[in-house]
Amino acid sequence: MASGVAMSAELEQLDGEIQDIFRALQNGFQKLDKIKDANRQSKHLEELTGQMRECKRLIKEFDRVFKEEESRNPPDVNKQLNERKQSMIKELNSYVALRKTYQSSLGNKRVELFDMGAGGSDAVPDDNVRLASEMSNQELIDAGRKKMDETDQAIERSKMVVEQTIDVGAQTAANLKGQTEQMGRIVNELDTIQFSIKKASQLVKEIGRQIVHPNNKNIRDIPGLAPPAPTTRRLLSAEAFQGF
């Protein structure tokens, strides 16, 4: 029991296999530093990626067996086993982050995420990641907190953009409503003007008809406009000169 943690035979076997992969990963990344050819580096990195996938599978299997045995173990043993699992998850995540650093240097942006479940779902994306054997748990925790702070800041910036967009939308809606109301008033005024023009045109026609036919009773009187007063012209005749 090299780890100092009380384990069943099955857990101890899984733990040993996981530790073997960690040692292989450490040696593999040290060897990667000595490879100068980009193609060979890429191929070697893929081999290390395969080892990380296998390590991920073994850690999940470790967690499954641990949960099956949990009810039969004393509380202090369960605590030690859970801490052991979390330590393995952090170790694997540090190699995932290191893999990302090498991929970036190779111009390969395809990064696979290793979701290990609660307590270890995020790899540590630090550009200056060292080998896990060179990092303390506190350094890993600090790097994780730094990433979470950056994520929170990005979320806050996104919320500000959304709020500003909502404000602009509300102002635009208010402007459109005001313009719609103004267009409605203009249309009403145009209708009133058109009606007035129509009535004025009818009035002009009636005035013209009364001037031309002042004695035509079929022509209705126009309010405010009296028909022309009839005039009687007396013709001059010889009778008019009688008495002179």
224 is a domain residue = no
74 is a domain residue = yes
Render pLDDT for 107-152 as a digit per residue (tens, 0 to 9).
644 444 344 444 444 444 444 445 454 555 566 566 666 767 777 7
For residue 30, give the CATH number of its domain: 1.20.58
Most confident of 84-88, 196-200, 231-235: 84-88
pLDDT score recorded for residue 226: 52
Render pLDDT for 138-150 as a digit per residue (tens, 0 to 9).
665 666 667 677 7
3-class DSSP assignment, residue 97: helix
Q: At what angle do helices 38-69 and 9-32 cross, to 10 degrees?
A: 160
d(CA 12, CA 81): 11
Number of domains in the chain: 1
21 is a domain residue = yes
- Structural domain for 74, as ranges: 9-115
181 is a domain residue = no
pLDDT score recorded for residue 123: 44
Q: Is the per-residue pLDDT at 214 higher than 70? A: no
Most confident of 22-31, 179-188, 206-215: 22-31
49 is a domain residue = yes
pTM for this prediction:
0.45
211 is a domain residue = no
Helix, strand, coil abundance in the chain, percent, nearest 5? 70, 0, 30
199 is a domain residue = no
183 is a domain residue = no
Q: Is the per-residue pLDDT at 193 higher than 90? A: no
- Per DSSP, the residues of 47-84 read HHHHHHHHHHHHHHHHHHHHHHHGGGS-HHHHHHHHHH
